[in-house]
């Protein structure tokens, strides 16, 4: 099995030595952060297995798909409409960009004062240490920030990148622009796969992805319960894995996990004591294996009950609402859904402030931790408005700015513990 993986990585042109170092590092980290948790749901077993073989079995599936003439499309952002890729018989994979390991590599090309997510993703390609990038036929980028936009130009020198233009406002003109981008993306995917996107296959893809969104909604709804039946770390992992797992299998696994959590809720079983402070995390995405903040918060005796982020509610809270009509109508439905994502790349972005307040109430949060990747200017600047709004609503807020490295763990613990003392119910 292990040898089979090595052979596969070799065929994918990976740099095996640093990759081995990365894989060897992940095991102990996962053990410490995840497996050491007590009273975990059994349904997490699947996710432990997936992480245990993170660059193995799923990559193998993608390779099988490719051997049969299928295409793999890699993405970095929740704005890329995955339905279109599925409809054309392709497989979309959200690439991981959450490891410090590849950051120093990237810094040999990118400015140091670039956010860790951009550096990490770029470093993975530069160092040839991510089998998902290696196994993909096209990378799809977007214009959600300036750092990414310019990084994609350089990335394109290593592997084919297609960039979708995400507008910055939500006016009618912007919506038209975005619809045009979605249609153009369909053309690109048709050309890549050699398959036509039709009203019918797109409709099927919409239903399939919506099912996964509903499953994640179900999981998050269970987190509203007091005491919460699943840890924030585990829920975050489920969301992270959803970015690259097969959508149908993923939906089944999430629903199976939720069945188990339903029983816990019925029995009043919580993962943490009922009086543990409940935290809503809001802000920048946490790509796998970025579990840093959740780990610090939960090690300090609190529990994360929701993520208002792209690796959280922004990923699944809206469904595509398909109409009865043909391809044009389905494409419009897809475009509309994606324009409802409340990303800080939009101006104004008042809806996100409403979301944070609403989620804090729905999830019975005792406080909000605003998580900001260092050098992510849109979220950092928007944080000032988040602060003002939450102050008005009387919801306690802690602002954290950090990256993937561990240097500041001491300071973060200090702040988070002080915040928890402050808000303890």
Figure out which of the listed residues 52, 196, 421, 425 binds other proteins, where binding follows CB under 8 A: 421
Q: Is 273 in the site for other proteins (CB under 8 A)?
A: no
Site for other proteins in 293-332 (CB under 8 A): 300-302
How many other C-beta atoms lie within 10 A of the C-beta of residue 179?
18
Q: Is 94 in the site for other proteins (CB under 8 A)?
A: no
Residue number, 381 or 414, with CB nearest to other proteins: 414
Q: Is 422 in the site for other proteins (CB under 8 A)?
A: yes
State in angstroms the smallest separation of the CB of 422 from other proteins. Answer: 5
Figure out which of the listed residues 273, 324, 394, 410 binds other proteins, where binding follows CB under 8 A: 410
Where do the H-state alpha helices sit in 136-231? Answer: 146-155, 172-193, 199-222
Quick one: which segment of 30-38, 199-207, 281-289, 401-409 binds other proteins (CB under 8 A)? 401-409
d(CA 348, CA 364): 27
Q: Is 394 in the site for other proteins (CB under 8 A)?
A: no
Figure out which of the listed residues 107, 246, 329, 417 binds other proteins, where binding follows CB under 8 A: 417
Do 62 and 366 contact (CB within 8 A), yes or no? no
State in angstroms the smallest separation of the CB of 291 from other proteins. Answer: 18
State in angstroms the smallest separation of the CB of 380 from other proteins. Answer: 11
d(CA 198, CA 201): 5
d(CA 348, CA 22): 40
State in angstroms the smallest separation of the CB of 295 from other proteins. Answer: 14
Q: Is 401 in the site for other proteins (CB under 8 A)?
A: yes
Figure out which of the listed residues 112, 184, 418, 425 binds other proteins, where binding follows CB under 8 A: 418
Do 283 and 291 contact (CB within 8 A), yes or no? no
Q: Is 107 in the site for other proteins (CB under 8 A)?
A: no
The number of CA neighbours under 13 Å toward the Cβ of 64 is 6
Q: Which residue(s) pair with 279 in the sheet?
A: 304, 367
Helix (H) / strand (E) element for 399: namely: strand 397-402
223: helix, coil or strand?
Answer: coil
d(CA 369, CA 280): 6
How many Å is the maximal CA-CA distance in the chain? 58
State in angstroms the smallest separation of the CB of 184 from other proteins. Answer: 41
- Residues with Cβ within 8 Å of residue 261, at least 6 apart in sequence: 41, 43, 219, 222, 229, 230
Residue number, 205 or 296, with CB nearest to other proteins: 296
Residue number, 304 or 320, with CB nearest to other proteins: 304
Q: Which residue(s) pair with 280 in the sheet?
A: 306, 368
d(CA 247, CA 90): 12
State in angstroms the smallest separation of the CB of 270 from other proteins. Answer: 17
Q: Is 415 in the site for other proteins (CB under 8 A)?
A: yes
State in angstroms the smallest separation of the CB of 410 from other proteins. Answer: 6
d(CA 260, CA 266): 10
Figure out which of the listed residues 94, 277, 285, 322 binds other proteins, where binding follows CB under 8 A: 277
Site for other proteins in 336-375 (CB under 8 A): 374
Beta strands in 7-50 (DSSP E): none
Residue number, 140 or 302, with CB nearest to other proteins: 302
Please report, as ranges, the residues that interact with other proteins according to CB under 8 A: 277, 300-302, 374, 401-402, 407-408, 410-411, 413-415, 417-418, 420-422, 424
């Amino acid at each position: 099995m292990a040898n089979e993986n090595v052979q596969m990585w070799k065929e994918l042109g990976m740099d095996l030595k640093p990759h081995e170092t990365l894989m060897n590092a992940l095991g102990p980290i996962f053990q410490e952060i995840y497996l050491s948790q007590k009273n975990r749901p059994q349904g997490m077993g699947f996710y432990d297995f997936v992480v245990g073989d993170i660059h193995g079995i799923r990559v193998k599936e993608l390779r099988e798909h490719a051997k049969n003439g299928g295409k793999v499309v890699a993405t970095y952002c929740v704005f890329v409409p995955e339905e279109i890729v599925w409809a054309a018989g392709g497989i979309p994979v959200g690439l991981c960009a959450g490891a410090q390991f590849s950051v120093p590599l990237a810094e040999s090309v990118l400015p140091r004062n670039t956010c860790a997510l951009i550096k990490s993703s770029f470093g993975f390609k530069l160092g040839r240490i991510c089998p998902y990038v290696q196994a993909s036929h096209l990378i799809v980028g977007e214009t959600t920030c300036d750092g990414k936009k310019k990084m994609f130009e350089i990335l394109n020198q290593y592997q084919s990148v297609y960039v979708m233009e995400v507008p910055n406002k939500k006016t009618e003109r912007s919506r038209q622009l975005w619809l045009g981008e979605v249609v153009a993306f369909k053309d690109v995917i048709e050309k890549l796969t050699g398959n036509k996107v039709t009203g019918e296959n797109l409709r099927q893809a919409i239903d399939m992805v919506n099912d996964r969104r509903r499953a994640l909604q179900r999981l998050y709804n269970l987190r509203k319960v007091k005491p919460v039946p699943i840890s924030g770390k585990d829920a975050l992992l489920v969301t992270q894995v959803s970015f690259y797992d097969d959508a149908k299998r993923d939906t089944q696994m999430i629903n199976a996990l939720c069945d188990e959590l339903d029983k816990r809720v019925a029995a009043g079983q919580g993962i943490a004591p009922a009086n543990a402070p409940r935290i809503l995390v809001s802000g920048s995405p946490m790509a796998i294996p970025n579990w840093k903040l959740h780990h610090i918060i939960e090690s300090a005796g609190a529990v994360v009950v929701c993520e208002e982020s792209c690796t959280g509610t922004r990923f699944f809270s809206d469904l595509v609402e398909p109409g009865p009509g043909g391809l044009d109508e389905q494409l419009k439905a897809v475009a509309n859904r994606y324009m409802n994502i409340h990303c800080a790349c939009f101006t104004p972005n008042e809806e996100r402030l409403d979301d944070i307040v609403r989620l804090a109430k729905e999830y019975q949060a005792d406080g909000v931790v605003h998580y900001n990747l260092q050098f992510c200017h849109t979220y950092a600047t928007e944080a000032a408005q988040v602060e003002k709004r939450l102050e008005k609503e009387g919801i306690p807020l802690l602002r954290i700015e950090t990256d993937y490295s561990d240097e500041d763990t001491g300071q973060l613990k200090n702040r988070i513990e002080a915040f928890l003392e402050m808000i303890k119910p």
